[in-house]
Chains A and B, each alone.
Chain A
Amino acid sequence: MSTFRLITKELRHRVLNFLLGLLAISAAVALFIALLTMGRASEREAVRLMRDMGFNLRILPRDTEMEDFWATDFAANEMPEEYVYRLASEPGLAVNHLVATLQKKVTWRDRQVLMTGILPEVQPPGMPKSPMGFTIEPGTVYVGYELARGLGLSSSDEIELFGKRFTIARCLAESGSKDDIRIYGHLHDIQQVLGKPGKINEIKALHCLCNGGDLATLRDNLARSFPDTQVVEFRSIALARAETRRMVEKYAAFIMPAVMVVCAAWVGVLAMINVRERRHEIGIMRALGFGSGRIASLFLGKAVLIGILGAGVGFAVGTGLALRFGPGIFKVTAQGISPLYGLLWWSVIAAPAFAALASFLPTVVAVTQDPAVTLIEE
């Protein structure tokens, strides 16, 4: 009779032991799946929200007077343009979509103008992303609504800015903000116009929450690598949600190992009870010529089978829990949570391995138990 058939027959005979084992494995898998499914959904939601709201980090020269900065909305001091490239290639910084800018308020044609040079987005190596903002070609400018309207400018017009000629690529729609008095140009053009080659006064960036980056860590890393910079972060609903997620992850970091230990002990105790209950069977198997490998395979095979079934049940229950309770806990839209089928395959590998590991000691006991003792004890 095959080992598998012996296992399934024994499972059907000792249903309670089987169900209790299945419950333990299913509970552990369900908890994992629920937390991971909700966590991933929350992460996606936070990333989406942050992308939707745009840049959330502003990296400024360290000696920037923040009072002036908030009054004017740009830093009076400058830093080297190369910082943006160094920042992009700095390992371990959870930032992307880096945009170096140089801004200065000037008077042009008797009007207050915010000259704004923008460098095309720089991405960390190996993380190509579609740009969040616009890219301005050298030799062209975008003109804010108020300026264009007041000066009667329109697209394709040629203008001269402090001795350098530009073509207006776009006249921007009304924004109801300072942007209406801006002239945007390529960073290198504006640096030349303002007489500040190689200088910038701000790097805008998107603080990535997906890699577990937090602001304190980012600030520490920046202070170490770029001591003459400082970071300002926009608080946002995305951050609030990320904090909720981190809080849940923190609790999960405690709960998961505890659940794992309890479930492993549970499965181990059940396996030990099973070994104890079957000691005469083991003895007679020995007498019938079953080797240690065959006897071990009966117990480990049973654990693996329970693990596989537990993985399936746990995945279904965990996904169900995530769909049911995820939106409430993580403030994620219900549509944002979807089953992570990839985790099913991981569960099918990990849960049997976990169950087999938990049953290892009882299996050793089964294999090493003296058959003579059990066969003589009548």
Chain B
Amino acid sequence: MVQLEGVSEIYRGQRGEVRALDDVSLAIREGEFVAAQGPSGSGKSTLLLTIGGMVHPTKGRVLVDGKDIYAMSGSDRAKFRAENVGFVFQMFHLMPYLTVIENVVLASRGRTKAAALTEAETLLERFGLSSRVRHKPGELSTGERQRTALARALLNRPKLLLADEPTGNLDPENSAIVMGYLSQFHQQGGTVIVVSHETIAAEYAQRVIKLREGRIVTPS
């Protein structure tokens, strides 16, 4: 499903070169649930965004479903991302001026407005947000916001779900709920990659990858 071949990502900052990823090679099978762990600055988020087609690596190739996503044009990569990849972030990144359901359908691709709304309502019901459909993100709890972001990520039924510290802002109860939904997605055949410095992700993952200074130190 996902294959990284000698991927390096080098930032040139004011204090010189920073190797966010350093010659990383990795293979993740379809339907696998992988947790990437490591301290701050170890390159976890960069790894996730590189897999998601958001960070063009300085060196190496990223293959998703056998396609070199960085060989695609920017617009093709954007289309590929919209159709195949779902993102969940620690800070939710919901549009503050859109309601819950509008945030979810914002990601809609390849279906009518009515079909997108029906799908969004189903997802929101599944995530216990039926009563919050017309609310703005500012009126939601952090757990509800993350569940909304998760619904948005799942609307287009992606094959790959990438979650960057999805429980970083949540209490243990909501963390368990969100991880439970990620697990459900995985059980339905989806591929999940979660980066987190918390141990909860590892409890749900089939495989844990540890990163340090941009390198995978303990692939399991």
A interface, CB within 8 angstroms of B: 1, 6, 9-10, 12-14, 280-281, 283-284, 286-292, 370-372, 375-376, 378
Contacts and interface: CB of A to CB of B under 8 A. Distances in A.
Contact of B81 (A12, A281, A289): A289
Interface in B89-143: 89-91, 93, 95-98, 102, 105-107, 109
Nearest to A371: B54
Contacts of A375: 45, 49, 54, 89, 93, 164
Contacts of A378: 89-91, 165, 168
A375 B46 CA distance: 10
Contact of B74 (A280, A292, A370): A292
Contact of B93 (A10, A281, A372): A281
Q: Which of B83, B87, B109, B152 has the most CB of A within 10 A?
A: B87
A281 B78 contact: no
A291 B45 contact: no
Interface in B160-194: 164-165, 168
Contacts of B38: none
Most chain-B CB neighbours within 10 Å: which of A9, A284, A370?
A284
B214 interface: no
Contact of B106 (A1, A291, A376): A1
A372 B48 CA distance: 10
A286 to B, nearest CB: 7
A280 B93 contact: yes
Task: Enumerate the 9 nearest inter-chain pairs by beta-carbon distance, A residue then B residue, closest first.
Answer: A289-B82, A13-B97, A284-B93, A287-B87, A372-B55, A288-B107, A376-B45, A372-B49, A9-B97
Contacts of B87: 284, 287-288
Contacts of A371: 49, 54
Chain B interface size range: 20 to 34
B78 A291 contact: yes
Given A289-B78, A378-B89, 18 more contacts: A1-B102, A1-B105, A9-B98, A13-B96, A14-B97, A280-B93, A284-B93, A286-B54, A287-B54, A288-B82, A288-B152, A289-B82, A291-B75, A291-B78, A372-B55, A375-B45, A376-B45, A376-B46
B38 to A, nearest CB: 14
Residue of B74, B85, B89 ringed by the most chain A CB atoms within 10 A: B89
A223 to B, nearest CB: 65
Contacts, number: 73
Contacts of A291: 74-75, 78-79
Contacts of B79: 289, 291
A182 to B, nearest CB: 81
B97 A372 contact: no
22 contacts: A1-B106, A6-B98, A9-B97, A12-B97, A281-B93, A284-B89, A286-B54, A286-B78, A287-B81, A287-B85, A288-B82, A289-B79, A289-B81, A290-B78, A370-B55, A371-B49, A371-B54, A372-B45, A375-B45, A375-B49, A376-B46, A378-B90
A284 B86 CA distance: 11
B90 A289 contact: no
B106 A10 contact: no
B196 to A, nearest CB: 12
* Residue of A10, A13, A287, A370 contacting most chain B CB atoms (<10 Å): A287
A284 B165 CA distance: 15
Contacts of B52: 287
A107 to B, nearest CB: 94
A281 B95 contact: yes
Given A12-B97, A290-B78, A280 B106 contact: no
